[in-house]
């Protein structure tokens, strides 16, 4: 019997009645949302059930939704059943004030660094992780750079004097006054 999305959804709803929501199939991949206390239970069930046996963690990452009050940070898991060749995706949401999510390292060794990366960039606190510290950024960093409150710099700004990167200094990009002082930012308030 082939493992269809409908069947997986049915099995999940039997196991966790009424707790899993937002079942969707964007581009053919079954996607659902689980309460964050249940993330390990869901993963364990998907891993151990002989029919489902999603034994491969393809990807683990986080997303920041500033607009979702009280559930700003999403952790996204992509699981793969290699035998039946079916992929699924599920998400848990955590409030940014206390972003505690259980760590999947006990089930998948590969979750270790991926969770460290999600912690590094989004500050998701993976409870039970053996070594939760920054992985790409410097240890002294005190913010989480991929969160949406850090917008990328506007390339057209002219108030910065930055010789190293081609703005200001000996190059004339129109952001210097005659005497070499940086040009004032035009007042944008109407």
Partner 1 sequence: MALITAPNIFPNEEPLEAGTTRLNLGPTHPATHGVFQNILELDGERIMSAEQTIGYIHRAFEKIAERRPLYQITPLTDRLNYCSAPINNMGWHLTCEKLLGISTPKRVDYLRVIIMELARIADHLICNSIVGVDTGAFTGFLYVMQYRELIYEIWEEVCGSRLTTNIGRIGGFERDFNDIAFTKLERFLKEYPDVLREFERLFNRNRIFMDRTIGAGPISAERALNYGFTGPNLRAAGVDYDVRVHNPYSSYQDFEFDIPTGTTGDCYDRFLVRNQEMWQSLRIIEQAYRKIQDMKGQEGTIFHADVPEYYLPEKKDVYTKMESLIYHFKIVMGEVDIPPGEVYHAVEGANGELGFYLLSDGGRSPYRLHFRRPCFIYYQAYEELVKGSMLSDAVIVLSSLNLIAGEMDA
What residues form DSSP beta bridges with 76? 61, 91
Closest to partner 1 by CB, 7 or 56: 56
Q: Enumerate long-range contacts of 108-116, CB under 8 Å, 24 or more apart.
A: 108/57, 110/57, 111/57, 111/60, 114/57, 114/59, 114/60, 114/61, 115/60
Instruction: For residues 141 and 156, give the distance between their C-alpha atoms in angstroms, rounded to a whole number.
Output: 27
At closest approach, how far in Å is the CB of 136 from partner 1?
4
User: Going by DSSP bridges, is the β-strand pair 86-94/30-34 parallel, antiparallel, or unpaired?
Assistant: parallel
Nearest residue to 125 (alpha-carbon basis) of 92, 154, 155: 92
5 binds partner 1 (CB under 8 A): no
Residues 6+ apart with CB under 8 A from 151: none
- Per-residue contact track with partner 1, 158 to 187, x per CB under 8 A? ------------------------------
Q: Which stretch binds partner 1 (CB under 8 A): 21-29, 96-104, 157-165, 173-181?
A: 21-29
Judged by CB under 8 A, does residue 144 bind partner 1? no
Among 35, 49, 146, 169, binds partner 1 (CB under 8 A): 146
Q: How near is the Cβ of 175 to partner 1 at its closest, in Å?
A: 21
Residues at the interface with partner 1 (CB under 8 A): 26-27, 29, 31, 55-59, 61, 63-64, 76, 78, 82, 85, 87, 89, 108-110, 112-114, 117, 121, 134-137, 145-146, 150, 152
């Amino acid at each position: 019997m082939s493992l269809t999305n409908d069947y997986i959804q049915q099995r999940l709803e039997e196991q966790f009645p009424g707790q899993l929501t937002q079942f969707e199939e964007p581009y053919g991949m079954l996607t659902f949302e689980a309460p964050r206390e249940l993330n390990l239970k869901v993963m364990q069930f998907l891993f151990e059930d002989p029919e489902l046996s999603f034994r491969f963690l393809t990807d683990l990452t986080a997303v920041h939704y500033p607009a979702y009050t009280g559930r700003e940070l999403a952790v996204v898991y992509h699981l793969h059943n290699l035998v039946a060749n079916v992929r699924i995706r599920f998400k848990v949401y955590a409030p940014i004030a206390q972003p505690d999510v259980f760590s999947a390292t006990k089930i998948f060794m590969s979750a270790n660094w991926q969770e460290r990366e999600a912690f590094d960039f989004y500050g998701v606190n993976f409870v039970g992780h053996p070594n939760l510290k920054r992985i790409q950024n410097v240890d002294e960093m005190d913010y989480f750079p991929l969160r949406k409150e850090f917008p990328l710099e506007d390339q057209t700004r002219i108030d910065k004097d930055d010789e190293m990167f081609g703005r200001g200094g000996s190059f004339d990009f129109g952001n210097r006054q005659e005497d070499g002082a940086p040009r004032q930012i035009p007042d944008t308030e109407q």
